[in-house]
Amino acid sequence: MILSTDRYDADGILTRLPHRFENVLLDQVDCIKTDVDTRGEFSVTFSPDQPRAIFLQKIDDGKFGIIRTACMEILALASIICTDYPDDGVIIFASISNFVANGDLPEGTLLTGEVVKLKGKGNFVRCRGFIGTAVDPQLASGELMAFIIPKSQLDDHASTPKIVDIPTLTHTLPIDRSAFHKSPDMVICDQIRKPYSDGTIVGQYQYPATHPLTKGHFPGNPIMMGIMQMLAIEDVCTVTFAQDKTTIGKIVAGQCQIIRTDGALIAEIKNFEVEINADRSSFLSTKKVVFRESIRPKDTFLIYLYDITVT
C-alpha cells in the first residue's frame, strides 16, 4: 500500500542534493513510500547544450551517449533524494556492487529508472536500481551502500589509510586527450607508467584543482566522484588496447587498485570487464567497488590493473 508520494522537479532536486552545476544528473524524482519499502522513480534527458554534457561521449553511430559509469552516479543521486538525512549531513558512498551496463544510453532520449531502498544499519544506506529507455528499460543496473555523516566531518571521516606496495613504474608515456571521443576533463589518466605486460598495467592521474566537477561534489569541500575512478580503468584500457585491431571487440577483465602516490589504498575494483571498441572502451561490469579514502584536488594516484585477461 502506498503511504505517500513526493515529487521533486528540478528546483526540488536542488534542495535535496548538496550537488550543483554539472553534477545534477536528474530532472524529476517521485519518492514513493509504501508499507513495504521506499523507492524512487526518476527521469532525465541529456543533451550536448547542457552543463552535464561533460558526461557524454561519442558512441559507435557517431551520436553521443552517457559515459556508462555515470549510470551509477544517477542511481546514487536518486537514492539520496529518497533518503531522510539531516540538513547538516552528507551521504558518502562506500561501495558499489553488481554493476552491469548492457548498452549505450543515447543523448536526447528520455531515460527512466528506479531505485529501491534496502535495509540498512545505523547510519548506513543501501539501495539497488536500474536505468534505461522505453525500448530497453534496464540498460544499466547496480547496488550501492553509503553512510551519512555531518558535513563538518567530511575532512576526517576516514580511518587510518591502508598502505600497500606501489607497483613497479617503468615508463612515463603522456596521454593524448584529443584522441578520446569525450570531454578532455573526463579522461581520467595523464600518463601510462607501466605498459601492458605480465598481466598488469599502471596509469597515473592528478585530480586538477580546476576540474569542473569540483564545483558540485561537494560545494566548498570537493572530493572526486567515485565513478571517475571506475572511468580511469576504461581510459587506461582505451590507451592500451583500442588502437590495436587485434583487440577490437574483445573483453578486458581483471582487478584494479587505485593507489595514492604515498601508498594509501584509495579504492579496489573487483572483477571488472571492459569492452574494447574502435577508439574507445566501454565499461561493462564489476562485481564490487570499495571506496576506502577520498581523492581531493591535486592528489595524484596510480591506476593499477592486474590479473588482466583479454578474451
Do 240 and 276 lie in one domain? The reply is yes
Do 114 and 223 lie in one domain? The reply is no
Do 125 and 183 lie in one domain? The reply is no
The pLDDT value recorded for residue 192 is 98
The pLDDT value recorded for residue 244 is 87
In a domain, 52, yes or no: yes
Q: How would you classify the pairing of strands 265-277 and 140-150?
A: unpaired
As a whole number of Å, the end-to-end CA separation of the chain is: 48
Which of 153, 184, 210 marks a domain boundary?
153
The pLDDT value recorded for residue 155 is 64
Asked if residue 78 lies in contact with residue 42, where contact means CB atoms within 8 angstroms, the answer is yes
In a domain, 166, yes or no: no
- Whole-angstrom distance, CA of residue 172 vs CA of residue 224: 24
70: CATH: 3.10.129.10
The pLDDT value recorded for residue 91 is 84
Closest by Cα among 44, 41, 37, 32 to 71: 44
The pLDDT value recorded for residue 65 is 95
Do 135 and 213 lie in one domain? The reply is no
| Bond into 218 cis (ω within 30) | yes
The helices-and-strands tally (H runs, E runs) of the chain is 3, 16
- Whole-angstrom distance, CA of residue 222 vs CA of residue 18: 11
Find all residues with CB under 8 Å of 135, minimum gap 6, and list them. none
Do 119 and 177 lie in one domain? The reply is no
Do 134 and 211 lie in one domain? The reply is no
In a domain, 158, yes or no: no
Asked if residue 276 lies in contact with residue 250, where contact means CB atoms within 8 angstroms, the answer is yes
Closest by Cα among 212, 183, 209, 195 to 67: 183
**Which single residue is written with the C-alpha cell 562506500?**
94
Do 89 and 208 lie in one domain? The reply is no
Three-state secondary-structure class, residue 290: strand
Do 134 and 213 lie in one domain? The reply is no
The pLDDT value recorded for residue 103 is 92
Do 15 and 50 lie in one domain? The reply is yes
| Domain coverage including residue 109 | 2-153
Find all residues with CB under 8 Å of 280, minimum gap 6, and list them. 57, 58, 180, 181, 238, 242
In a domain, 210, yes or no: yes
Name the domain count of the chain: 2
Averaged in consecutive runs of 10 residues, what is the pLDDT profile of the chain (311 residues)?
94 89 96 94 96 92 90 96 80 94 94 92 89 97 91 66 96 94 97 96 98 92 94 96 91 98 97 92 97 96 98 94
Do 70 and 112 lie in one domain? The reply is yes
Write down the pTM of the prediction.
Answer: 0.95
Closest by Cα among 212, 217, 224, 220 to 298: 224
* E-assigned strand segments in 237-299: 251-260, 265-277, 280-291
Closest by Cα among 176, 169, 219 to 197: 169
The pLDDT value recorded for residue 131 is 98
Do 110 and 22 lie in one domain? The reply is yes
